């Protein structure tokens, strides 16, 4: 098994059920090793020119960077928001055991 680099994706979702469904779908697809549903969280943002506040659930997805672009695209496609915030990034480092966990099933 070759080890890649770690990566993360963050996205807020409207309900715990939708966050859970997104987490299950992305991990079930094989593009990600793990997804955490975090929340509820309180979000403050500007939408259509007005300050807004809402209760949301965050989904933090852990994966091998080799699948990052495909995973970001899948999260965007499955997301329930019209304009979802989906942020993916490559992480600087992780221990070998974590890299192996993230890469499981890719080779």
- Each residue of 57-66: pLDDT tens digit? 999 999 999 9
The terminus-to-terminus CA distance of the chain in angstroms comes to: 6
The region, left, alpha or beta by phi > 0 then psi within -120 to 50, assigned to residue 49 is: left
The mean predicted confidence, pLDDT, of the chain is 95
Q: Is residue 29 part of a domain?
A: yes
Whole-angstrom Cα distance, residue 28 to residue 87?
20
Which residue is listed with tokens 């989904």? 59
Give strand pairing partners of 45: 52
pLDDT at 74: 98
Domains: count for the chain: 1
Q: What tens digit of pLDDT does each residue of 15-28 get?
A: 999 999 999 999 99
Where residue 98 sits, what CATH number does that domain have?
A: 3.30.70.120
How many CA within 13 A on the CB side of residue 54?
13
What range does the domain containing 62 cover?
A: 6-103
What is the reported pTM? 0.94
How many Cβ atoms sit within 10 Å of the Cβ of residue 99? 18
Q: Is residue 43 part of a domain?
A: yes
Q: Is residue 1 part of a domain?
A: no
Say if residue 69's pLDDT is above 90. yes
């Amino acid at each position: 098994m070759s080890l890649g680099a770690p990566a993360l994706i963050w996205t807020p979702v409207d309900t715990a059920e939708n966050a859970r469904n997104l987490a299950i779908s992305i991990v079930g697809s094989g593009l990600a090793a793990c997804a955490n549903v975090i929340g509820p969280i309180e979000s403050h943002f500007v939408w259509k020119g007005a300050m807004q506040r809402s209760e949301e659930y965050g989904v933090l997805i852990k994966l091998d960077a080799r699948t990052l672009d495909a995973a970001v695209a899948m999260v965007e496609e499955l997301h329930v928001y019209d304009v979802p915030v989906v942020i993916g990034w490559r992480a600087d480092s992780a221990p070998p055991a974590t890299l192996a966990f993230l890469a499981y099933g890719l080779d």
